[in-house]
A and B are shown apart, each in its own frame.
Chain A
Amino acid sequence: MTQRNVAVVGVGQLPYRTHHADRTYVELAQDATLAALRHAGLAPDDVDAVVFSLAPTQFMGVNDADKWAVDAVWAQGKPFMRVSTGGATGGSAFQAAYQHIASGMFRCVLVVGADRVAETPDAQHVLNLIWDRFYEHDFALNTVTMTALAAQRYMHRYGVTEEQFARVVVRARRNAAGNPNAHLRKPVTVAEVMDSPRVSWPFKRFDICPRSSGAAAMVLCAGDMVARTRCTRPAWVRGASGISHSVFMGDRMTYWSDSEFADHDGFHHAAWAAYRQAGIVDPLRQIQVAEIYDPFSSFQFPQLESLGFCGRGAAAAISDAGGFDLDGGMLAVNPSGGTLCANPIGVTGLVRAADAALQIMGEAGANQVSNVHAAVATAIGGSTQFFTCTVLGDDHA
């Protein structure tokens, strides 16, 4: 459908940690940029335009910090814009970079961002302030309680247990042990997850992602420029969609709703739009890796179902049987360890796309899945209301 084939030819990430005390915000973004350019074998002058991935700035405390980063990411004198869609920011920024090239207006685009969520002790306060000031802000809504509400509904609908969510955490940590960039790399057991302190029912502390600092960058270019790069096995962008839903969670959980809040079914719309572009009709047969946005243990099941990998309510049993494990399963889900093991909010969606691209490139190291021809990367933002879905593949036919 689009005018041009677009390829990912470079990926740069810094290790995700609670703090990066040795570098400022802009230096983090710069280091990721350098890593991505080196990976692609390109220089800053080769980049035609820059998209900056930056979610709410209150976490790191400088409004429009993208403007501060302009010099650090070699954007001076270039088209530059910041994309911001809450937790989906990295997914949207990647898609904006893709659209820059697919439009025919640019040949080579850098998408980069950084975050330092632990720069403030008030992160969940910031996340309370995202709610409507008149009707919802007073009720202790934050990303944890909002998600707990959806998880409770999902458990009620499909008979899923806290232990089944705990097994998702165990798998994520096992995968993260092989990813040098992951923030939480220590394996845990189901019992340890169940015994961790209760936060907001059904969540315990280990069901929830860490607050991470770090940076990520990707270099995308038009198909006819790939030969100029170091990249011999690019990850082609095959489909992209970002669907938005109502902020009012209470509109999405009654008989009169168009959709079901607990099912993350914005992904039903986003995934099938992206699959249509990518020519995917049977996701489970055609896609080998899913890098999905899962800051909470409850996020995988409804998301995998909405992405078409199994029927409603079926994901938990497949997970229990090892179907989503790194090797030998039916689909490798978050071989990187996913968002449960690192969540630098402003770039988390970009990290999903980056880890998916590395799997296509065959450069995922210890966590490389064999025979990857297509991968899907997602992100979620707002009140579980912004859903981005990107399909990457090893060819562009």
Chain B
Amino acid sequence: MTTTQAVDDDVIHGEWHVRYTYSVGKVAGTFFAALREGRILASRCSDSGLVYLPPRAYCERSFQPCDGWVEAGLAGEIEAATIVTAAFEHLPPPPYAIAYVRLDGVSTAMVNFVRGLALSDVPAAAARLRPGTRVNVVFGAQRAGRITDFHYELA
């Protein structure tokens, strides 16, 4: 972490960069390893029967450990979507679309970018992203074992 300071007339400027090392653990590690192979693995709780994406170590509802893996379908349905048209610092340049998609065979929805959609007319593009719309998972050529290895495209 570094901070820089400079004195103005009525304020003191400061900046803060903090480094962290987040342990991936076994569950996320399994998921990310599968992404490199172009597969999406969801965790399953046999107690509640729920299949989770993102994968979980435990089921929030049964409060038991998730005890199995299920291969998710590479297509699914939009549950919620938006088109970002404002520039936020440290976020991608607008416009872009994101959506929560429930992949086939999974109980929950997972967020990712929706690409390949014309966004110049925002209300028109929004109308193409209504809940229930089918999308496909598209993997990039380069896979780093990160969630950004894939995105969604309209089916």
Contact = CB atoms under 8 A, between A and B. Distances in A.
Contact of A249 (B14, B80, B113): B80
A153 B84 contact: no
Given A152-B126, A156-B130, A198-B86, A140 B81 contact: no
A192 interface: no
B96 interface: yes
Nearest to A250: B109
Contact of A198 (B14, B32, B85): B85
Interface residues of A, number: 45
A163 interface: no
A153 B81 CA distance: 8
Contacts of B109: 249-251, 253-254
Contact of A201 (B61, B111, B126): B126
B53 interface: yes
Interface string A153-183: 1001100000000000000000000000000
A134 B96 CA distance: 20
Nearest to A251: B108
B88 interface: yes
B89 A125 contact: yes
Contact of A140 (B16, B88, B146): B88
Contacts of B28: 134-135
B98 interface: yes
A246 interface: yes
A136 interface: yes
Interface stretch (A8-16, A84-92, A142-150, A271-279): A142-150
A317 B57 CA distance: 43
Contact of A138 (B84, B129, B147): B147
A102 B80 CA distance: 42
A202 B126 contact: yes
18 contacts: A21-B10, A21-B11, A61-B14, A61-B16, A134-B24, A134-B32, A142-B88, A145-B82, A152-B81, A153-B79, A153-B80, A197-B86, A200-B85, A248-B108, A250-B79, A250-B100, A251-B60, A254-B109
Interface of A: 21, 58, 61, 121-122, 124-125, 128, 132-136, 138-142, 144-145, 148-150, 152-153, 156-157, 197-202, 246, 248-251, 253-254, 256-258, 261-262
Interface of B: 10-11, 14, 16, 22, 24, 28, 32, 50, 52-54, 60-61, 79-86, 88-92, 96, 98, 100, 102, 107-113, 122-123, 125-126, 129-131, 146-148
